[in-house]
Structure 1
């Protein structure tokens, strides 16, 4: 009808927590599921993120403790240009180096140096406890960045898993409630139609 005002819908916040004659037991259960899901998602995500960050930080600290920087000498001049097609390229080239460990043992190996470095140049390389050359450990800034990223990603993943689990439980509860409503309507529907003048 032209003169009928539009129907407005008023949203009542937290209605599942308030006492009212339309609230069912399943509504209260659903409210608790939502609350517990959010609490577990946030707290679980934070705890998992902190655990991952702590693990990463411990791994970086252990790595730094296992290697040490040594001063080595180029035994031959380095190539002037990097080899093409060598995959990841940081602009350096491989060259033979020699160094003496703390116990006086002389070691030789190949290390990455800047192109064109002449023989006899001093370079810093990283070695482990056995005297084998290894890649340098992450700098404090790199370690911090990777630790933070790992913590954030794990926190987000853990929180999402808990949230999805809560949504699945809630969806199952909603399906059960709809089934109960259907069963109830089968009993009440015919009486309602008779009272409203409909055909039963």
Structure 2
């Protein structure tokens, strides 16, 4: 036999073998179940999460409206770490009612300048909805995160199960040694 050659047998835990224990068969089935959970559960969780997030973003795009507003206060020049600042604005709603509120606008604008703000169905100021491209990227990232979370849970559960199986094997070896060990302590001559 060559040095360094692997002699690994595939599916050895399912083959008939006098050294095979019930714990080995249980471990083989648990490995198969964990792989199936990762493949199917991770894919399903990622897909459902991505579709749900995409639905939320589509609803936001449908419910939010861009409205022309006028700045009521000057905004300070851009600071080194910020290009947007909070300012008071006034806008006219689609029903003709005039509203005022505070929102984020570009820095360095004077009072009376026109800005675009976003309102929801009730007429309250909200953030701009994500574009289709940004929403698709965010939905994909959320879906991938959900798939990785399911994978992490399955791997963590498998690690705990593997620890329990190893402890059980060690206990079985200890009880078998208790039966066989005293016979080896006797002198033969």
Q: TM-score range by the shorter chain?
A: 0.7 to 0.9
Residue 139 in structure 1 maps to residue 131 in structure 2: yes
Q: Which moved more, 1:125-134 or 1:10-19?
A: 10-19
Once superposed, what is the RMSD of the aligned Cα atoms? 2.9
With over 3 angstroms needed to count, the CA separation of the structure-2 counterparts of 1:34 and 1:132, relative to structure 1, is: same
Aligned-residue offset at 1:120 = 4.6
Shift of 1:125: 1.1
**2:174 is the alignment partner of 1:182:** yes
Deviations for 1:135-155, whole angstroms, at most 9, x for unmatched residues? 111222221222111111111
Number of the residue aligned with 1:32: 29
Are residues 115 and 182 of structure 1, via their aligned partners in 2, closer, same or farther at CA, if it must alter by over 3 Å? closer
Contact 1:68 1:126 in 2 (8 A): yes
Residue of structure 1 equivalent to 2:118? 126
Deviation of 1:38 after TM superposition, in Å, equals 1.5
Partner in structure 1 of residue 105 of structure 2: 113
Query: Which string of whole-angstrom CA distances, capped at 9 and with x for unpartnered residues, describes residues 49-89 of structure 1?
Result: 2222222222222222321111223456x4351368xxx72
Q: Give structure 1 regions of 4+ aligned residues with deviation exceeding 4 angstroms.
A: 5-9
Aligned residues: 187
CA distance 1:74–1:189, change in 2 (3 Å)? closer
- Ranges in structure 1 where 5+ consecutive residues have no aligned partner: none
> Partners of 2:5 and 2:72 in 1: how far apart?
86
Pick the structure with greater CA Rg: 1
- Does the 8 Å contact 2:75/2:110 carry over to 1? no
